[in-house]
Amino acid sequence: DVHYDVHAVEKKWLPVWERLDPFRADDAVVTSGEKPKRYALTMFPYPSGDLHMGHAEVFALHDVIARYWRFRGYEVLNPMGWDSFGLPAENAAIRNDEHPATYTYANIETQFESMKRYGISFDWSRRLHTSDPEYYRWTQWLFLKFRERGLAYRKNSPVNWCPNDQTVLANEQVLADGTCERCGAEVTKRELTQWYFKTTEYAQELYDALDGLQATWIDKVVNAQRNWIGRSEGAHVRFDVDGHDPITVFTTRPDTLWGATFMVVAADAKLAAELVSDEQRQALEDYVADVRKASDIDRLATDRPKTGVFLGVHAVNPVNGERIPVWASDYVLADYGTGAIMAVPAHDQRDLDFARAMDLPVRRVVDTGEDNPEESGVATSGNGTYVNSGPLDGLTDKTAGIHQVIELLEADGHGSGTVNFRLRDWLLSRQRYWGAPIPVIHCPVDGEVPVPEDQLPVELPELRGADLKPKGTSPLGAATEWVNVSCPTCGGPATRDTDTMDTFVDSSWYFFRYLSPHDDSQAFDPALAAAWGPIDLYIGGDEHAVLHLLYARFFTKVLRDMGLIDWDEPFSAYLSQGKVINNGRKMSKSLGNGVSLGEQLDSFGVDAVRLTLVFASPPEDNIDWADVSPAGSAKFLQRAWRLSGDVTSAPGVDPATGDVALRKATHKTVHEAAQLLESYRFNVVVARVMELVNATRKAIDSGCGPEDPAVREAAETVAILLSLVAPYTAEEMWERLGHEPTVAQVPWPTVDEALLVEDAVTAVVQIQGKVRGRLEVSPDISEADLEAAALADPAVQKAIDGREVRKVIVRAPKLVNIVV
């Protein structure tokens, strides 16, 4: 009885929980308003291999909250599923000459078994896989709805291309160093016709709503989204061009217009080809061939040598009538702003470098007191006095300058104030097999024709092994029978779209499908979305800061505009966990410092591993596995468990007559735990439970003894609190304390406020070093209150005997020293 077998306990309770099914969320009690709801969400995994330490950490943290909310009387929706489309399954299928589904569903089963053993309080009745036709049918349906609203469209433009994965990538999937977020290959550009979601339509709203998320999301993620959306205030300025349509530029500094001495058009933009003179055409074409090889990151680098081609045309500066040359260069990007700029070399370094390289004029229009850029070669961008700027001359306020020029431009039709966003539309089509087919048919007569809704899902054709090898066009093209169909509109011969959707499309709405995972009449039930939404806490890695979290916000706003939901932000609060590292380094195969979750669970048991992960640090900090002790956690759990065997009073005994000191410790622990849990300080909660275990042990061995009802109350409290992180141990304790399973369903212990009041302490009052009085005071009395109480005490008054008090030294709560 003094040692408990963690593995036997795991085997004992799993089937009991499965039978009792205590974590199934009941829609009815929430839709009826009978119980308040909480929707707890943690990011669903990608099914590659078994679960790892990172999953173990995030699930353990997540479960603390889900279980706590249940204790507090909420009906908790805590679903789980798999993000099961994507490249790794496809690559494995090519290697092993099999179907991607083989790898995918085998891994899902492995992870499912591990998750169950890990004891997370998921509602498994809502399990979903995004690669199931029942799921992607609705991904396709949503795509068509977005398309109906003009939010999904096809266009031809230069796109990011991963030469290794042989597929296009969204901007969000290209890392800051210009490499592919999946495989690390250098991303290049290709001109291709691709499908896009019009995220830009929601740019302003996605940006503005970040203010409201600031308080409940972590700063890092909010800021990353702000930068990614990249809102810039400025102006569109129209320059007339001899013999051509005018060129419009986007500038954040219309006030520097008098310093615009030339213009630059993105070399690879259509505009350049339209503008170029016959003499310069060949030069431009040669140049563009070179430009295509460079990434955006390289192109924007300030230290990149400036290159370009004169287009052989001139434009007219609208504020001073000056004729200025129009150039093409790679440092202007085709898909930002309007793809053309007015160059102000004195105040923009890249323009200045270009002017110097091409021998173009430089004119300072803001005197900042620094060296004149015309001579120094260093552009100045700070505040100063306007010069050479007509009506602006002498003005020193930049905001006023900008406003004045915008007014001028608006008055004569040469421009207007505008807001520009860095955010691009989301490129969603992929030339890979293992994804949801795009439900569109291309007909030579009717063009793009959506697959009729009653024909969804468009299921993937059976392809395997070598058929799936990436070849730059979609593998689906090889499934001739699948591709060739008759047009839903005219009945003539037509072909299916052969691209599949980015897997980020699947994960942009999975939290809606959890509401109605088995509904085959709709994507989700709007009534359930109204009842359960939005998600109260989302926990997951912040590597998704501008990918998944932004896409999910976009989807949510569109669903709102479709009238399916009445809330417009999906995640009311968002928490991101730190990483589990080892010996100060990220775990990796090459460093050989990986820690196997399975081995840890086998050695120490589920509870000890979970407890270690929760106790190690605040949730957002990294955990170094070299610094923690799962063996220590296992030992502590033994200590806690032993309490339950030592209690000798009967279940249901009234604790009111129990030992007051232990009762106070118990009630204080519950009270503080609630506050700590609300602010996600889970590690401190564990520390408090450890203290309570110690206090209870002491009470049993050398205090009130095992028969005292306060000991039962303390042990039961330990079981309840411990169930947040160590459900097996807690369940076992609960049973040994004479209760029915499951401890997960009991109410949160009621705190007796009277027991939270600290005992009084005795303060000593001295006069000239002699003790003249004693006061019973609160332990947290202030210095001022203690001084006043001492001076008002009759015994002290008598001892002072009318003499003048010269000095009072207070050491709250214990001592007052009076000098007369």
The residues facing 493 across adjacent strands are: 486
Question: Counting contacts by CB under 6 A, is residue 272 touching ligand ANZ?
Answer: no
Residue 230 CB, shortest distance to ligand ANZ, in Å, is 7
Taking the complex as a whole, the smallest distance from the CB of residue 266 to ligand ANZ amounts, in Å, to 6
Q: How many residues bind ligand ANZ (CB under 6 A)?
A: 19
Structure tokens at 744: 């997960």
Strand partners, 249: 237
Whole-angstrom distance, CA of residue 814 vs CA of residue 200? 65
Q: Is 168 in the site for ligand ANZ (CB under 6 A)?
A: no
CA-nearest of 343, 335, 297, 350 to 420 is 335
Min. distance of Cβ 496 from ligand ANZ in angstroms?
36
Q: Which residue among 94, 288, 311, 342 contacts ligand ANZ (CB under 6 A)?
A: 342
Which residue type is seen at 137? R
| Residue range at the interface with ligand ANZ (CB under 6 A); choices 335-343, 525-533, 550-558, 780-788 | 335-343
In the complex, what is the shortest distance from the CB of residue 300 to ligand ANZ, in angstroms, rounded to a whole number?
Answer: 7
Cβ(88)–Cβ(46) below 8 Å: yes
Q: Which is nearer to ligand ANZ, 301 or 795 (CB)?
A: 301
**Ranges of H-type helices in 703-782:** 709-722, 727-736
When binding is defined by CB under 6 A, the residue of 339, 526, 706, 813 that contacts ligand ANZ is: 339
- Is 388 near ligand ANZ (CB under 6 A)? no
Among residues 47, 100, 325, 337, the one that binds ligand ANZ under rule CB under 6 A: 337
Q: In angstroms, give the least distance from the CB of 294 to ligand ANZ.
A: 13
- Determine contact, residues 383/400, Cβ cutoff 8 Å: no
3-class secondary-structure state, position 600 = helix
d(CA 408, CA 381): 22
Token pair, residue 492, equals 């003539």
Query: Using an 8 Å Cβ cutoff, are 237 and 248 in contact?
Result: yes
Q: Does 347 bind ligand ANZ (CB under 6 A)?
A: yes
336 binds ligand ANZ (CB under 6 A): yes
Select from 245-253, 471-479, 694-702, 710-718 the region that touches ligand ANZ (CB under 6 A).
245-253
Q: Which residues pair with 152 in a beta bridge?
A: 197
| 207 makes contact with ligand ANZ (CB under 6 A) | no
Contact call for residue 348 and ligand ANZ (CB under 6 A): yes
Distances (CA, A) of 530 to 32, 158, 518: 12, 41, 18
CA dist 580 and 290 (Å) reads 44
Classify the phi-psi angles of 68: left when phi > 0, otherwise alpha if psi is within -120 to 50, otherwise beta.
alpha
Among positions 137, 253, 306, 364, the unique one binding ligand ANZ when judged by CB under 6 A: 253
According to the binding rule CB under 6 A, does residue 256 interact with ligand ANZ? yes
In Å, what is the CA distance from 462 to each residue of 105, 465, 481? 16, 11, 11
For ligand ANZ, give the closer residue by CB, 322 or 624.
322
Angle at 775 between CA 774 and CA 777, to 5 degrees: 150
Catalogue the long-range contacts made by 272-277 (C-beta closer than 8 Å, 24 or more residues apart): 272/311, 272/328, 274/244, 275/241, 275/244, 275/247, 275/311, 275/313, 275/326, 276/309, 276/311, 276/312, 276/313, 276/328, 277/311, 277/312, 277/313
Q: Which stretch binds ligand ANZ (CB under 6 A): 141-149, 332-340, 368-376, 406-414?
A: 332-340
User: In this chain, which stretch among 138-146, 337-345, 503-511, 806-814 interacts with ligand ANZ, using CB under 6 A?
Assistant: 337-345
Reduced to 3 states (helix: H, G, I; strand: E, B; else coil), residue 234 is: strand
Q: How far is the CB of 226 from ligand ANZ (least distance, A)?
A: 13
**In the set 101, 344, 575, 777, which binds ligand ANZ (CB under 6 A)?**
344
Q: Is 420 in the site for ligand ANZ (CB under 6 A)?
A: yes
> Which residue stretch of 200-208, 344-352, 626-634, 740-748 sits at the interface with ligand ANZ (rule: CB under 6 A)?
344-352
Q: Is 295 in the site for ligand ANZ (CB under 6 A)?
A: no
Query: Quick check: helix, strand or coil at residue 493?
Result: strand
Strands 188-197 and 152-162: antiparallel
The only residue of 29, 273, 316, 333 in contact with ligand ANZ, by rule CB under 6 A: 333
Burial (0-12, 13-18, 19+ Cβ within 10 Å), 761: middle
Whole-number Å distance between alpha carbons of 333 and 299: 8
User: Among residues 199 and 251, whose Cβ is nearest to ligand ANZ?
Assistant: 251
Q: Give the residue with the Cβ less far from ligand ANZ, 420 or 498.
A: 420
Instruction: Please state the closest distance from residue 344 (CB atom) to ligand ANZ, in A.
Output: 4
Rounded-to-integer distance, Cα 424 and Cα 201, Å: 10
Site residues (CB under 6 A) for ligand ANZ, limited to 218-237: 232
Least Å from the CB of residue 245 to ligand ANZ: 18
CA nearest 500: which of 195, 790, 175, 160? 195
31 binds ligand ANZ (CB under 6 A): no
State which residue, 253 or 772, has the beta carbon closest to ligand ANZ. Answer: 253
The SS3 of residue 763 is strand
Nearer to ligand ANZ, 339 or 630 (CB): 339
The three state secondary structure string of 552-574 is: HHHHHHHHHHCCCCCCCCCECCE
- Closest approach, Cβ 363 to ligand ANZ, in A, equals 12
For the CB of residue 378, give the shortest distance to ligand ANZ in the complex, in Å.
13
| Part in contact with ligand ANZ (CB under 6 A); list of ranges 4-12, 70-78, 246-254, 596-604 | 246-254
Q: Which is nearer to ligand ANZ, 235 or 485 (CB)?
A: 235
519 touches 453 (CB < 8 A): no
Rounded to a whole number of angstroms, the minimum distance from the CB of residue 376 to ligand ANZ is 15
Our CB check for ligand ANZ shows the closer of 344 and 726 to be 344
Here's the x/- map for ligand ANZ, 516-555, by CB under 6 A: it reads as ----------------------------------------
Taking the C-alpha atoms of residue 206 and residue 213, their distance in angstroms, rounded to an integer, is: 11
How many angstroms separate the CA atoms of 335 and 250, rounded? 12
Q: Which amino acid appears at position 97 of this protein?
A: D
265 binds ligand ANZ (CB under 6 A): no
Greatest CA separation for the chain: 114
CB 464 to ligand ANZ: min, Å: 44
Query: Residue 232 or 593: which CB sits closer to ligand ANZ?
Result: 232
Minimum CB distance to ligand ANZ, residue 318 (Å): 14
Rule CB under 6 A: choose which of 25, 115, 168, 332 binds ligand ANZ.
Answer: 332
Q: Are 329 and 297 in contact (CB under 8 A)?
A: no
Candidate ranges 333-341, 439-447, 466-474, 805-813; the one touching ligand ANZ (CB under 6 A): 333-341
Q: Which two tokens stand for residue 13?
A: 């309770």
Answer yes or no whether residue 408 interacts with ligand ANZ by CB under 6 A.
no
DSSP letter, residue 26: -
Helix (H, G, I), strand (E, B) or coil at 546: coil
User: Which residues have CB under 8 Å from 427's CB, separation 6+?
Assistant: 159, 160, 168, 169, 170, 171, 194, 195, 196, 502
User: Would you count residue 251 as binding ligand ANZ (CB under 6 A)?
Assistant: yes
Task: Give the strands of the sheet with 580-582, arranged side by side.
Answer: 585-586, 580-582, 623-624
Q: 402 or 799, CB closer to ligand ANZ?
A: 402
Taking the least distance from each CB to ligand ANZ, the nearer of 333 and 684 is 333
For residue 520, CA distances in Å to 33, 36, 133, 436, 563 come to 26, 28, 11, 17, 19
Among 138, 250, 504, 682, binds ligand ANZ (CB under 6 A): 250
**Binding interface with ligand ANZ (CB under 6 A):** 232, 250-253, 256, 266, 332-333, 336-337, 339, 341-342, 344, 347-348, 381, 420
